[in-house]
Structure 1
Amino acid sequence: MYAFRKPFSAAGYGEHQLVIEIAGRPLEAKTVFVISQILGYCTSKYLGAKLCSEVRREHLGPALLVAIGCALAALLAFAVVPPGLKVVAIFLNGLPLGFVWGLMVRYLEGRRISELLLAAVSCSFILASGEVKRFGLSLMERGVPEYWMPFVTGAVYLAPFVVSVGLLSLIPKPDAADEALRSKRSTMGREDRRAFLRRFFPGLLPLFIAYFFLTAFRDFRDNYQSDLFHEMGIADPAAFSRTERPIALSVMVVLALIFLIRNNRAGLMATYGIVLGGLALMGGATWAWDHGMIDGEMWMIGNGLGAYLAYVPFGTVMFDRMIALTRFGGTAVFAIYVADSLGYTGSVGVQLYKDLFAENTERLEYFRCLTYGMSLGGLPLMALAMIYFLRQGPASERSAGKD
Structure 2
Amino acid sequence: MVFSLKTLLQRSSTPIFVIYAASAAFMTYFCMYAFRKPFVAASYDNIEIFSGAIDFKIALVLAQVLGYLLSKFIGIKVISEMPASKRAITILVLVMSSELALIGFALAPTDYKLVFMFLNGVPLGMIWGLVFSFLEGRRTTEILGAMLSITFIVASGLVRSVGKWLINEMNIVDIWMPAATGALFTIPLFISVYLLMQLPKPNQQDITERQARKPMNARQRKSFFFAYAPGLILLILSFLLITGLRDFRDNFSAEIWTELGYGNEPSIFAYAGIRIALIVLLALGAMVIIKNNVRAFLINHVFILLGCGLLGGSTLAFQAHILDGKTWMVLLGAGLYTAYIPYNCFLFDRMISAVGVTANAGFLIYLADSAGYLGSVSILLYRSFSSTEQSWLEFFINLCYFVSAASACLVACSMGYFSRLLYKKHQYSKKIIKLDSKPQEEGAVKAV
TM-score range, shorter chain: over 0.9
Letter in 2 for 1:114: T
What residue number does 1:281 align with?
Answer: 310
Q: How far did residue 218 of structure 1 move? A: 0.2
Letter in 2 for 1:131: L
Gaps of 5+ in 2: 1-31, 432-448
Residue number among 26, 30, 38 corresponding to 2:65 in the alignment: 38
Deviation string, structure 1 residues 215-274 (Cα, Å, up to 9, x no partner)? 000000000000111122212011101111111122112111000000111211221111
Runs of 4+ in 1 over 3 A off after TM superposition: 391-402
Residue number among 113, 121, 128 corresponding to 1:94 in the alignment: 121
Residues 326 and 392, structure 1, Cα contact 8 Å, conserved in 2? no
Q: Does residue 179 of structure 2 align to residue 162 of structure 1?
A: no
Residue number among 325, 341, 345 corresponding to 2:354 in the alignment: 325
Residue number among 277, 281, 306 corresponding to 2:335 in the alignment: 306
Residue number among 230, 234, 244 corresponding to 1:216 in the alignment: 244
User: Identity, % of aligned pairs?
Assistant: 38
**CA 27–48 in structure 1, closer or farther in 2 if over 3 Å, else same:** same
Moved more, 244-253 or 352-361: 352-361
CA distance in 2, matches of 1:313, 1:394: 22
CA distance in 1, matches of 2:144, 2:371: 25
Letter in 1 for 2:56: A
CA distance in 2, matches of 1:3, 1:43: 20
CA distance in 1, matches of 2:244, 2:63: 15
Letter in 1 for 2:132: V
Q: How far did residue 28 of structure 1 move? A: 1.0
Q: Does residue 274 of structure 2 align to residue 245 of structure 1?
A: yes
Q: Does residue 294 of structure 2 align to residue 265 of structure 1?
A: yes
CA distance in 2, matches of 1:395, 1:29: 54
CA distance in 2, matches of 1:169, 1:400: 38
CA distance in 2, matches of 1:12, 1:359: 22
Give the alignment's Cα RMSD to 1 decimal.
1.6
Deviation string, structure 1 residues 293-313 (Cα, Å, up to 9, x no partner)? 111111111111111000010
Q: Does residue 201 of structure 2 align to residue 173 of structure 1?
A: yes
Which aligned pairs between 1:38-77 and structure 2 lie closer than 5 A? 38-77=65-104
Q: Which structure's CA Rg is the greater one?
A: 2
What residue number does 2:156 align with?
Answer: 129
Which aligned pairs between 1:315-354 and structure 2 lie closer than 5 A? 315-354=344-383
CA distance in 2, matches of 1:301, 1:287: 14
Q: How far did residue 125 of structure 1 move? A: 2.7
**CA 157–11 in structure 1, closer or farther in 2 if over 3 Å, else same:** same
TM-score (structure 2 length as normaliser): 0.87
Q: Does residue 132 of structure 2 align to residue 105 of structure 1?
A: yes
CA distance in 2, matches of 1:344, 1:121: 20
What residue number does 1:385 align with?
Answer: 414
Q: How far did residue 390 of structure 1 move? A: 2.8
Letter in 2 for 1:158: T
TM-score (structure 1 length as normaliser): 0.96
SS of match in other structure, 1:361: coil
SS of match in other structure, 2:185: helix
What residue number does 2:9 align with?
Answer: none
Give the aligned length: 399
What residue number does 2:45 align with?
Answer: 14
